[in-house]
Each structure stands twice: as C-alpha cells, then as structure tokens.
Amino acid sequence: MTEETPHSNLSMGFVSRRRLLQWAGTGALSMALPKGAAAQSSGGAIETLTIRVSHEAPVNFINDLTLKKWADKIKEKSGGKITVQVFPAGQLFNDSDGMQTLVTSQGATLQMVSTSAFYVEPYCIAAGAFELPYEFASQNQFRGALDTAPGRLISKSLSENGLIAIGDVIDLGPLIVVSAKRPLRTLADMHGLKVRNLSGQITADAIHALGAGPVDISFPQLPLAMSQGTVDAAVATYLAWNAVLSDIAMYGVDPQMWKVGYLQLVQRDWWNALNAPTRSLISSTLSEEIRGSWAVLDAMLARAKHALAGKGREALTLSTNDIGAWKHATASVIEKWEPKIGREIVQGFRNGRA
C-alpha cells in the first residue's frame, strides 16, 4: 500500500522549512504527556529496550518524519532507556514481509511496523474497514477512527490475531486515482484501465467494480510500469503523485472514496510483556507526535496540490452527481465485505459520520 520510493527528500518540499522545523521542535503541536505516565517514568520504572520500526514509505515522508520525531521524544522522556530505530523505505523489510516477521518472530527480530490496512487485512479482516469505499466522511473522522466504538472493535480483533495498535492513525490524506492514459472525469473514463492496486483484496474488488482491472505492482516499480504501459493508472496519494508520478501521470481525480493512513502495530505478546509504565510512555508519546503531524500533513497537501497545478496537471474532485455514480458502482463491494469485517464495525463508522 504505502508509497515506498526511497527518495531522501521526498516530502520536504511539500511544507515550508519553517513549518517543518516548528513541528520538529520541542513541544510543537504536542499534547501534554499524561501525568500518570510522567510520574511513573520519573520513578525509574521504565524498562530499558530497543524498538526497531520498519516501514516502506520514503525517507522524510510524513510517517517517517513522525516516527523519527517520536524516537527523539521518547529517548528524552525515558532518560535514554528507550531507543527507537526507524528503518524507512523498506531498508529492513517491505511492509508485506514486515507484517509477516512481526507476527511470527514474537518481537525478537522486529518490534513494530508502520503500515496501512491494506497489508494488515490478511492478518485481521476487521482492519479491512479502512479499505471500504466511502466508509469515512472526513479526514477528521478517519484520524480519530481508533478512538471510537468501531475502532475499539478493530483493536480487539487485532489483539485476538496477535497484534496491538498503538498511538493513532498517521494520516496521508485522500487516496486518489492518477492516470497516464486519459483524463478521469466520469466513471466511464475508468472502464478498461489497468490500475495499480496498493494491495488488499477489498481495494482490488473496488477497482473491478469501477470497470477497471487491478494490477499488483510495488510502488518502486510503478513509474517504470506506467511509462511502459504495464499499467495505465494508479491508486496513490497527492504527495506521491507530485513527488514521483507527476512526470508520467498527467491526470488525477479524487473520488472522495478512500482515506489512507498508517497503523502503528506491535506484536501482542512482546507488548504485553512490557510493564505498564513502559507501555504507557510508548503509546502516549507516539500519540503526541502523530496528532502533531496532522496539521503538517494539511500544509503538505496544500503545497502538493499547488505544485501539481503549476505543472499543468489536471487534479479534479468529483461532483456530487458523479460521486453518486461511483458509490452506486462500488455498493457491491460493501455488501460482500461487510459480513466478513463485521456489521457493527462497518455501520458504526457510517453512523458516526460528522
């Protein structure tokens, strides 16, 4: 799923240096550490450990920046007892292999993966709710998804399958479709296209429902695949389109269909073996940094859209009438997957729309 090209400065251009430095500075956009966690850490109960975090998004992508800022913060808060090592751009594992390693190694080889629901779905179908078309009405609803009744049901299901979600969702913004072949202005324009799928059967089914054919291609291979015509279009983010695909994909459309972000997952037994003060410090400091990253992402998205317009790229948002056609086309996907994901989860998010 994740946009995984290892470009060293991929996201730096999307937000002003001043804004990024403000965010990366001490205390920027952060919430206060809960008093209980602070008191416990100062009492010396925090364990000494190293947390290796793997993700395949580019260096300096929003989740990479967030995780590295968290690494600095938790080292400070723990008095140097907790070291977080972040391995971006698939340097340690791609997300698929990282998930498998996380589940099977019992935390010995890898302690944490930052990845999207597209890679989590094979291990916990409840996480597939994040892939469903038109499941979330807004970015704010998506960002707070884990801290809701249906979100807690997903967390419960994850735990039953050996995984724990900590912190919050690192938001990437809306998921769009970009095309190297033709403008995407109506549903009919999707028909017959070969579309790169991020991963996950639910998203593949949605692409099928739109009249296109899903093709599984890793993100590093995507620019070449699009230039050679192996795929005509791709499901991607505004950030990835602007940074990596804008020379190839001239057209893009936001069907307001998907939101995309990263879940922060640890192996359940490894997590539960840590004492309560350590778990509290890890999760609370991670949430601080993730919530601070949301405002930074908003600025990055605005700059990416402005840059795309400057390059002459066609970036459309569907009209209300066109959205109705896309919703109608993908209704069968929801009907198929809702019983598997859980009606209480799917309808819970839909009933909670603001």
Every domain range in the chain assigned CATH 3.40.190.170: 12-173+261-300, 176-257+308-340
d(CA 274, CA 166): 14
Round to whole Å and give the CA distance between 298 and 118.
23
Confidence class for position 199, pLDDT limits 50, 70, 90: confident
Predicted confidence (pLDDT) at residue 4 exceeds the cutoff of 70: no
Predicted structure pTM score: 0.85
Lowest mean pLDDT across 30-34, 135-139, 141-145, 149-153: 30-34
Of 175, 352, 335, 196, nearest in space to 253 by CA:
175
Give pLDDT tens digits for 279-321: 999 999 999 999 999 999 999 999 999 999 999 999 999 988 8
pLDDT value at 142 more than 60: yes
Q: Give me the pLDDT at residue 11, please.
A: 38
pLDDT digits (tens, 9 = 90+) for 38-57: 333 334 599 999 999 999 88
Element of type H or E holding 124: none
Residue 220 pLDDT: 76
CB contact at 8 A, 182 and 164: no
The CATH number, out of the four listed (3.30.450.260, 3.40.50.720, 3.40.190.170, 3.40.50.12170), of the domain defined by the range 12-173+261-300: 3.40.190.170
Report the chain's C-alpha Rg in angstroms.
20
Q: What is the pLDDT of residue 321?
A: 87
Q: Please give the pLDDT value at position 10.
A: 40
157 has a pLDDT exceeding 70: yes
The domain defined by 176-257+308-340 folds into D-Maltodextrin-Binding Protein; domain 2 (3.40.190)
With 80 as the cut, is the pLDDT of residue 252 above it?
A: yes
Please, where are the H alpha helices in 145-200?
149-160
Q: pLDDT digits over 317-333, tens only?
A: 998 889 999 999 999 99
